[in-house]
Amino acid sequence: MSIERLVRKELHGPGRRSATRRSGPPDPEMISLAAGDPNFLLPKYIADTINQAILDGYTHYMFGGDPQLKVEAAKYYSKYGYKTMPSQVSLTNGGSSSIFQAYAAILDPGDEVVAFDPAYSGGTMVPAYFGAKIVYAPLVKDDTGMYDFDEEELKKKINSKTKALYVENPGNPSGKVYGEKECKIIADLAVDHDFIVVSDETYTEFVWTGEDHFPIITLPGMENRTIVTMALTKMFSWAGMRTGWTISGPELAPYVGRAPGGGLSWPIQKGAIKALQDGYQFVLNMRKEYEERIEYTAKRLNEMPGIKCPKPQGAFYMFPCIEDTSMTSMEFCQKLVEEQKVRAIPGASYGAGNGEGNVRFSLIRPLSNTTMPSWFEHKKGYMLEDAMDRIEKFVLSHA
C-alpha cells in the first residue's frame, strides 16, 4: 500500500524542514538566528491576567471570539488611519491562521495568487490546498543587496485567473516596506483586474523608514478588496500563544468571518485584551532593542569580506547578500551550522528561489547591553555579539 496515494500531493516528499535543522535534541552550543520567534519575556501583568482568567472560569467555548478583543483589535488598527469597526475583525489563532482564513474565504480551484519572490512561505504554501496556483513576481535586487518592488515584473504575472495578490508589508525576508506609492500601484492593478489583496501586516510595529505604516485598505476601491492579516506574534513577542485576526471591509468581512481561522483560547484572549489596552510601552521598548540590534549587525556584517548587508526598511531580519563568498545560500547556511553552530535560513528557500544569494538572520538574540528579560538565560558566549563573532570567523575562514 502506498501512503502517498492516500495523502495530498502537496505533502509528498521529504517535508518542509529547514535545510540546516538536524533531528535529535537541541544542541546547547547552537545560536539559532533562524526562526522569527522574538525573545522578549512578556510583562508579568499580562501573564497575571491570563492566570486570573483561568481561575475566573474563562475556560469554556467562546464562539466567535471575545467581543472585547474585536473592539481592541479594531481600535488598534484604526490608529493607522482606517476607521475599523469590531464587526470587520475576525479572530484567528495566529498570523498563519489569518492567512489561511483569507485564502479560505476567496480561493476556488484554478485561481491564481501572485506573490513576490522572495516571500514568506507561510503565505505562499496555502493556496495549493484550495486547488489554486501561486505565481511569483520577482523583486529586484539593487547594488546594496536589498530587494525592491518592480511594477513591470508584477504586471507580467497578472491575468484573468488572478484572484489575489499576497504581500507582506513589511516584507519577510526582504525587509521591504511598501509605502503609499507602491500601495497605489498595487491598488490600481487590483481594481483594474478585479482581484483581492491579502495584505499581511504582521510587522507594522517594526517599520524603520521614519514613516508610518501605510494601510492599502484606505485606497480608493480597496476597502472591500483587501484582507488584512495580523497577529500578536511579533507585536507582543507572543508566538506560542497563537493570537491573530483578519480585517476586511464591511461587505467582505461577513464572508471572511465564515471561513475557518482556528479557535482561540479564551484566557489568552483576555491577555490579548490587556496587552492591547495597556501594553504599548512594552512594544516601544522592544522596538528600541531591535533598532540597536539592526544597527549593530549591519555594521558587523558589512565589515565581513564578501558580505553586503542593507538595513531592512521593516521587520527584524537581516537579509545580507553573500554572493561574493562564492557559496550558495544553502552551502553558506549548512557550513555555518557545522563549523560555527549558528543557524540561519538560505534565501533560496523563500519563494521560487529568487532569494538565492542572500541569507536570513533573525535578530531574536539580545545584545549584551539588553535591558529586557528573555525567556531564555542570557549567557556569555551566546549573545548577538557572539553570533556575529562566529559568523565573522566562518566568513574569514572561507575568504
Ligand X SMILES: Cc1ncc(COP(=O)(O)O)c(C=O)c1O
Q: Does 244 bind ligand X (CB under 6 A)?
A: yes
Amino acid sitting at position 329 = S
Residue that the C-alpha cell 538572520 belongs to: 361
Q: Dihedral sign, CA of 172, 268, 288, 198?
A: positive
**Minimum CB distance to ligand X smaller for 36 or for 310:** 36
**Minimum CB distance to ligand X smaller for 101 or for 233:** 233
> Which residues 62-101 are close enough to bind ligand X by CB under 6 A?
94-96
Q: x/- contact string, 4-43, with ligand X (CB under 6 A)?
A: --------------------------------x-------
**Minimum CB distance to ligand X smaller for 115 or for 383:** 115
Which of 38, 65, 122, 271 touches ligand X by CB under 6 A? Answer: 122
Q: Dihedral sign, CA of 113, 119, 123, 129?
A: positive
Q: For the chain, how are helix, strand and coil distributed in percent, rounded to 5?
A: 40, 15, 45
Which of 40, 77, 120, 178 touches ligand X by CB under 6 A? Answer: 120
C-alpha cell at 347: 534565501
DSSP state of 35: S
Residue 131 CB neighbour total at 10 angstroms = 11
Residues 6+ apart with CB under 8 A from 182: 149
Tell me the window of 5-13, 231-239, 328-336, 372-380 that interacts with ligand X (CB under 6 A).
231-239
SS3 category, 211: coil
**Minimum CB distance to ligand X smaller for 239 or for 309:** 239
**Minimum CB distance to ligand X smaller for 120 or for 208:** 120
Residues in binding contact with ligand X, number by CB under 6 A: 14
C-alpha to C-alpha distance for 276 and 69, rounded to whole angstroms:
9
Element (H or E) spanning 273, and its range? Answer: helix 266-278
Q: Does 233 bind ligand X (CB under 6 A)?
A: yes
Strands (E), 64-111: 89-92
Residues 6+ apart with CB under 8 A from 95: 122, 200, 202, 229, 230, 231, 233, 244
Which of 231, 309, 322, 395 touches ligand X by CB under 6 A? Answer: 231
Give the nearest distance from C-beta 307 to ligand X in angstroms.
23
Q: Does 239 bind ligand X (CB under 6 A)?
A: yes
In this chain, which residue has its C-beta nearest to ligand X?
95
**Minimum CB distance to ligand X smaller for 135 or for 364:** 364
Which of 200, 205, 356, 385 touches ligand X by CB under 6 A? Answer: 200
Question: Torsions phi, psi of 387, nearest 5?
Answer: -60, -45
**Minimum CB distance to ligand X smaller for 49 or for 93:** 93
Give the nearest distance from C-beta 119 to ligand X in angstroms.
8
**Minimum CB distance to ligand X smaller for 74 or for 231:** 231
> Which residues 147-176 are close enough to bind ligand X by CB under 6 A?
168, 172
Contact (Cβ atoms closer than 8 angstroms) between residue 196 and residue 106: yes
DSSP state of 27: P
Binding-site ranges for ligand X (CB under 6 A) = 36, 94-96, 120, 122, 168, 172, 200, 202, 231, 233, 239, 244
